[in-house]
Amino acid sequence: MNADKRLIEAFVPLAPISQQSKEENSVTKATEYLPRALLTLLHRWWARRPLSACRAAVYCSLVPAPTTPAGLKREAEFVTRLCRWKASAATFTEARQKILTASGATAPRTLDLFAGGGSIPLEAARLGCESHAVELNPVAHLVQLATLYYPAKFGAKLLPIVKQWSDKVFSLTAPELEACYPTVRPPKDQPMQATFVASQAALKPSAYIWTRTVPCRRPDCGAAVPLHRQLWLRKKRGGFIALKPRPNKSRKRVY
């Protein structure tokens, strides 16, 4: 067993994998990365692991470590190619073949006991493994079913079914939640802000930001002061958006 050294024990090209993971985490909407970013966009799981890092971890754990510096260099170059966003189908085929050879021509079984949103089991399956996942959290388990099980079972015919039922759920819940998302209009005494589209007279909020509050320490005040961790909503080139607290003296609140 001491001679059976895996690649992950010898060398892993961390710098390129980290760069790919950083790019993956920066994707917030459908772009040219969609074929690789779909899992990230499917559900914003707070402990989501980058697919590039999971792919590298699975592959490097299943193939043996070369015994020569030249062999290590070749494997490092291959892992770098494998973990790119647009890794070719030929690269995946080569990775599956290497894993299959290392496991004695039998697809290895992988088990993630704390699978969360399913990043590791997904990459294990893509690399040709018999992938298994376990998770206690029911929300994460539902994400796993939508990520790992249903697409493999139903294939492309699942897409219109998902759209049909998502539209139905939206049509049923929208009227019930109408009161929670009232129409927002720009203040009459202020110029139209950047958050309002010039061609629209009003917008509807899509989400709320909740904070805890504490009473003002001034005896003559008594206002509820929100405990903001930070006020920035967006800090990216091309648009900066931040909250601006506004005190309401009549209701002793800060909005």
pLDDT digits (tens, 9 = 90+) for 103-123: 999 999 999 999 888 889 999
Band (pLDDT 50/70/90 cuts) for residue 147 is confident
Q: Is residue 181 part of a domain?
A: no
Residue 171 lies inside a defined structural domain of this protein: no
pLDDT at 253 over 80: no
- Expressed as residue numbers, the domain containing 143 is 7-163
Query: How high is the pLDDT of residue 235?
Result: 81
**119 and 216 within one domain:** no
pLDDT > 90: what percent of the chain? 36
Helix (H, G, I), strand (E, B) or coil at 239: strand
Per-residue pLDDT band at 90 (split at 50, 70, 90): very high
Q: Is 187 in a helix, a strand, or coil?
A: coil
* Residues 219, 139 share a domain: no
Residue 16, φ and ψ in degrees, nearest 5: -65, -35
Per-residue pLDDT at 189 exceeds 60: no
Closest to 241 in 3D by CA, of 185, 180, 195: 195
Q: Is the pLDDT of residue 75 over 90?
A: yes
Q: Is residue 17 scored above 80 in pLDDT?
A: yes
Q: What mean pLDDT do residues 1-6 have?
A: 75
pLDDT for position 239: 78
Q: In degrees to the nearest 10, what's the CA dihedral of 84, 86, 88, 94?
A: 20
Of the residues 163, 183, 218, which one is the last residue of a structural domain?
Answer: 163
Note whether residue 222 is domain-resident. yes
Q: Is residue 191 pLDDT above 60, yes or no?
A: no
Q: What local confidence, expressed as pLDDT, does residue 30 receive? A: 55
What global pTM score does this model have? Answer: 0.68
Residues 27 and 132 in one domain: yes
Per-residue pLDDT of 172-187, as tens digits, reads 998 888 888 887 766 6
> Which pLDDT belongs to residue 196?
44
Residue 83 in contact with residue 18, Cβ under 8 Å?
A: no
- Mean pLDDT, to the nearest integer, of 207-233? 81
- Residue with the bigger pLDDT between 238 and 198: it is 238
In-domain check, residue 28: yes
147 and 214 fall within a common domain:
no
pLDDT at 93 over 90: yes
In this predicted structure, what is the pLDDT of residue 195? Answer: 46
pLDDT for the residue numbered 3: 74
Using 50, 70 and 90 to split pLDDT, how confident is the model at 74? very high
In a domain, residue 169? The reply is: no
Contact 61, 53 (CB under 8 A): no
| Total tally of structural domains belonging to the chain | 2
Distance CA 12, CA 56 (A): 8
Q: How confident is the model at residue 1 (pLDDT cuts 50, 70, 90)?
A: low
